[in-house]
Structure 1
Amino acid sequence: MKTDAAILARRTPPNPQTKVVVRRAFFYAALAILAIPFVLPTWWMITSSLKPISEIFAFPPTLWPANPTLDGYTKAFEMQPFVQQYFNSLYISFFVTVGTMFISSLAGYAFARIRFRGQNLLFLIVLIGLLIPSEVTIVPLFQIFNEMGLINTHWPILLVSTFGAPSVLATFIMRQFFISLPIELEEAARLDGLGRFAIWWKIAMPLAKSALGAVAIFTFLHIWNLYLEPTVYLQSPELFTLPQALTRYTDAYGGQLWNVQLAAATMTALPVLVVFVIAQKQFVEGLAQTGLKG
């Protein structure tokens, strides 16, 4: 009897659910190991912002502060108008993101659905804008805005960012998405008496939520981290954006106040991380649905 039971046990196939559980366990373990190089710097930044300067560079490094302190966060607000600078970054990122979404969706729909002479050549010229570094155009743009009296205002950043490289990439993404939409939707809308603008607004835009979400996320992240343009155009600390403000936390001798910088960097990065974690599904779906058709 024992021999027959042992043979039967060897012949019995393993439970499929057990295989799935083991496979998932290995998969998540591998993901956790691969995530360490990406999570560890963020963890070090957050925990080091709670350390005194002497403990930040202690060896061996610690993963948690021995004596947590909020001194870095307090000084971040005392040394600069950090609240105003935070608001500057928020409202600039918001208006540039909304403007980019509006312009890129209009241009993308036009390139995808309106046929005209020289269409492909014009679209190629637009895409060439992605190949021109911002450092090449910063000097002539500075001279133009200086003649207009707009230096040390937010207008150069708003205008250059809205009509610059992020808008070009957004236009490409929106064009690819609109090309993938069935032409029958547009034909049915025309039979109902809708014009071009009405079709774009009432038919195409509601279907383009995932693509618009992707455009919104990468545009917001780009503008939130923008450094060159604010450094060139802005001079007053009250007008600074956050990336520019982070470099100004120094002592009387020009040395870096690392705990204050890390505290300010933590407050700068955490909202963006939260937004990306919440909206990453829309971001991935938007890029996936644009495809490379056309």
Structure 2
Amino acid sequence: MSPRLKVLVYGVLLVCCVPFVFPIWWMATTSLKPVTEIFAFPPSLLPGSPTLDAYRQVFDLQPFGRQYLNSLYIALLVTILTLAVSALAGYAFARIRFRGAGVVFVIVLTGLLVPNEVTIIPLYRMFDALGLVDTHWPLILVPALGAPSVLATFIMRQFFVTLPAELEEAGRVDGLGRFGLFWRVCLPLARPAIGAVSIFTFLHSWNLYLEPIVFLSSKDKFTIPQALTQYVDAYGGPMWNTQLAAATLSALPVLVVFVLAQRQFVEGLAQTGLKG
């Protein structure tokens, strides 16, 4: 590629990045502005009088630190449970031949076609009967056993299908059983798929909104998306700088994780046949 063409390509890519980068830049810089400066005209890209008052209010108005930890540990548990379920189920569908496997797999995939809004009332009644409303158990069990787990199972199954059968034959010669083949041979090779499943599962749980507003009512049990809706003034209007400060804090770890792991995420999807 010639230098001129390279400059042209990078220039086009930079222009295409603007619609994606600008909202994040505006959110982060506006969170440092006083309220009077947010609505100034013409708007400024940088705060004229930067202040951290909005970030102090984030923690003063409600237990944001506790809510942050709630989202973190729930997302981690959901990711671990989803990996355990999807890896085992994906391996079973890919490598174990049993009667009706294709029909069962299609039935499992139909879980992707059912919107969360359709199942939320039956789920609420079930968890209410079990006494688990206003706890974090619904936020852990529903994603780990619901549609995100179905998609993860599909990705893991597609990856295990691509593994050469000779690898398992060599394992059997060494005396490995079915679980040994899964644990020692197939699972270590599935790191790209595991990385892809881990990233999208963590992000889905971190951004979960419908289930928290249905199942949780105590502020100390809120998660980040639910907490962001609580920053309002005495008249019910939004506290713009405080909301943006909380949104910046909530988006920061997600951006860092994705930037550091995006190559593995793309590689995992490419190797499982989900190329864009």
Q: TM-score range by the shorter chain?
A: over 0.9
Separation (CA, whole Å) in 2 of partners of 1:86 and 1:141: 25
Separation (CA, whole Å) in 2 of partners of 1:53 and 1:121: 58
**Runs of 4+ residues deviating >4 angstroms:** none
Aligned to 1:80: 62
Aligned to 2:34: 52
Aligned to 2:48: 66
Three-state SS of the structure 1 residue aligned to 2:2 is helix
| Cα deviation digits, residues 23-46 of structure 1 (max 9, x gap) | 221111111010000000000000
| Shift, 1:264, TM fit | 0.2
Separation (CA, whole Å) in 2 of partners of 1:182 and 1:85: 45
Corresponding pairs, count: 275
Aligned to 2:261: 279
Structure 1 residue runs without a partner (length 5+): 1-18
* Equivalent AA in structure 2 for residue 212 of structure 1: I
With normalisation by structure 2, the TM-score equals 0.98
Separation (CA, whole Å) in 2 of partners of 1:211 and 1:273: 20
| Shift, 1:187, TM fit | 0.9
Structure 2 residue runs without a partner (length 5+): none
Aligned to 1:138: 120
* Equivalent AA in structure 2 for residue 65 of structure 1: P
Separation (CA, whole Å) in 2 of partners of 1:109 and 1:174: 7
1:114 aligns with 2:109: no
* Equivalent AA in structure 2 for residue 107 of structure 1: A
| Shift, 1:192, TM fit | 1.1
Aligned to 2:273: 291
1:250 aligns with 2:225: no
Three-state SS of the structure 1 residue aligned to 2:230 is coil
| Cα deviation digits, residues 117-146 of structure 1 (max 9, x gap) | 111000000000000001100001100110
1:140-179 pair list within 5 angstroms: 140-179=122-161
Aligned to 1:259: 241
Aligned to 1:180: 162
1:212 aligns with 2:194: yes
Separation (CA, whole Å) in 2 of partners of 1:164 and 1:24: 45
| Cα deviation digits, residues 78-114 of structure 1 (max 9, x gap) | 0010000000000000010011111101000000000
* Equivalent AA in structure 1 for residue 75 of structure 2: S
Q: Which moved more, 1:74-83 or 1:20-29?
A: 20-29
1:223 aligns with 2:205: yes
Separation (CA, whole Å) in 1 of partners of 2:41 and 2:100: 64
Aligned sequence identity (%): 64
* Equivalent AA in structure 2 for residue 274 of structure 1: V
